[in-house]
Amino acid sequence: MFKNFKILRPILLALIIGIPLYPKFPLSSVAGTFVSVRVDDYLVLFSIIVYGIYQLTHGFPIFKHKITKLFLAYFFAISASTLVAILIYQTTAPKFLLLNLLRRFEYMSLFFIAADTIKNLADLKITYITAIIATILVSLYGLGQKFLGWPIVSTMNSEFAKGQLLIMSDWTRISSSFAGHYDLAAFLSAVLIIIGVVAIIQKNFFLKTINLLFWLLAFYILTLTASRISTFAFWGGMVLTLFLVKKYLWILPVSIVMIVSLFMSKDLNQRLLATVPGLQKSLAFLKFPAKPTVIPTITPISTLPPIAVITGSPIKPKPGATFVPTVMVYKTIEEFPPVDADVGVARSGEIRFNAEWPRAVTAFKRNPLIGSGLGSITLATDNDYLRTLGESGLLGFITFFSIIFYFIRKTIPLVFRKKLGFLDIIQITLFGGLLVTLTNAVFIDVFEASKTAYLFWIMMGIYYQTIALNQKRK
């Protein structure tokens, strides 16, 4: 059966649809940790089991990939780090260290599922169409949250992560079906590069128009997240990618759309003005809104009937009780005292610069070679480079980024070609998506957040196979 049927294709398409779209409802929690088991975990587990059967019936093609040895080197590095953390440093509970190690294997396994699925241009095309459908649905759900009161499932704090349904008012920085607005923004900033370039190189006028409309919809959702790092990572990545694929005339309209969006999005421009001291005074002639961004304290009120209502602190279910999502309704903006955007931006910077980043540096200094173990420096660092150094040391850092460097090394030669073919352009476009993700990693834990990590490694598996297909055609 597995030899005659392309079993991996429906598996990959299910992952591309299911991972971004299914909200992070916890099915059960792992005792003694903040980790919860969710539906997407079972989807990935099922995919890995099927992929394991595929390997058995096809003679383990995974070892025929040149890049596999780089992954094995990284797996050795993080396994050694975990072992030392458990036996010697005892940085945190062994269960938690092992869970983080297994999750890393889980994330990166999707690379190989994607790589072994993409065999030809038809596979690339159907994968792109599926990704477009997922992006549209994510964007539409984001609009529903912003304008129709559709619920959010967030993991931005430990209480929300229990699976509460949150109904936000119009100040909300939307997260759609993702765990938070930063994760959504990181996803969109990369996928917008791909959709944008595909739209531009599309020769059919109808398909070009449709793709551009989808691009504008997803871009609007990106602005609603008000994520500064992802917005500018996208802008820089899009401009660079257009330059590398020699579509110079499109750089100006893309930049105009970007600049206009900065003025149109009140939340985004307030946060940008708060980020750069003195910028608001120098740009006073542009008449930015004087009213500060409202960042209300989340205070539930008991005005909602039928599903459970929170009147104070969240209700904790009794042991063994069936999980029931809880809806929280928030007061309107006018009922909260406004908080200047400077406060929110300053708080965000202080957490990173004074707590999270120094903690990662301290963990690195404890053992520069192999670090203090995955997951040992709390749930967030908001810098994946420092996190990798702190948790897995120089050995983990070098082996991890040797995988990334493989793609850079394979793509850079295309930059100097005078004429680019279709696969050349797709390869460079995926390179742009990689660069945007690496930029996001300076301020967001994109390689640890499950949705962004899963989708990143799927993208890299497609990228790897695009390189292979491109080399075969030459």
Predicted confidence at residue 278, as pLDDT, reads: 53
Count Cβ neighbours within 10 Å for each residue of 180-209 and write b for 16 or more, e otherwise.
bbbbbbbbbbbbbbbbbbbbbbeeeeeeee
Residue 350, phi-psi category: left (phi > 0), alpha (psi -120 to 50), beta (remainder): alpha
pLDDT one-digit tens code per residue, 306-333: 333 333 333 344 444 333 344 344 333 3
d(CA 433, CA 265): 24
What mean pLDDT do residues 106-117 have? 96
pLDDT, tens only, 80-111: 999 999 998 887 888 889 999 999 999 999 99
Give the number of other CB atoms < 10 A from CB of residue 228: 17
Confidence of residue 185 (pLDDT cuts 50, 70, 90): very high
Among residues 430, 440, 250, which one has the least CA distance to residue 258?
250
Tokens coding 122: 């038809």
126-140, 289-303, 425-439 — which is least confidently predicted? 289-303
Three-state DSSP at 165 gives strand
Among 77, 78, 71, 61, CA closest to 403: 71
Mean pLDDT throughout 250-265? 91
Q: Which helix (H) or strand (E) holds 308?
A: strand 308-309
Beta bridge partners of 36: 29
Q: Are 111 and 461 in contact (CB under 8 A)?
A: yes
Rounded mean pLDDT, 22-29: 80
Q: Which amino acid is at 336?
A: F
pLDDT mean over 352-370: 88
Least confident of 141-150, 175-184, 260-269, 293-302: 293-302
Confidence of residue 351 (pLDDT cuts 50, 70, 90): confident
Which three-class secondary structure state does DSSP give residue 27?
strand
- Domain boundaries in the chain? 8-296+331-472
Among 124-133, 230-239, 287-296, 424-433, which stretch is predicted with the lowest mean pLDDT?
287-296
- H or E segment to which residue 327 belongs: strand 326-329
User: pTM (2 decimals)?
Assistant: 0.85
Q: What is the DSSP code (8-state) at residue 103?
A: H
Q: How confident is the model at residue 356 (pLDDT cuts 50, 70, 90)?
A: confident
Q: Given the DSSP bridges, would you call strands 26-29 and 326-329 parallel, antiparallel or unpaired?
A: unpaired
Nearest to 194 by CA among 462, 394, 13: 462
Tokens of 124: 């690339």
Compute the mean pLDDT over every residue in the chain, rounded to the nearest whole number: 82
pLDDT of residue 90: 83
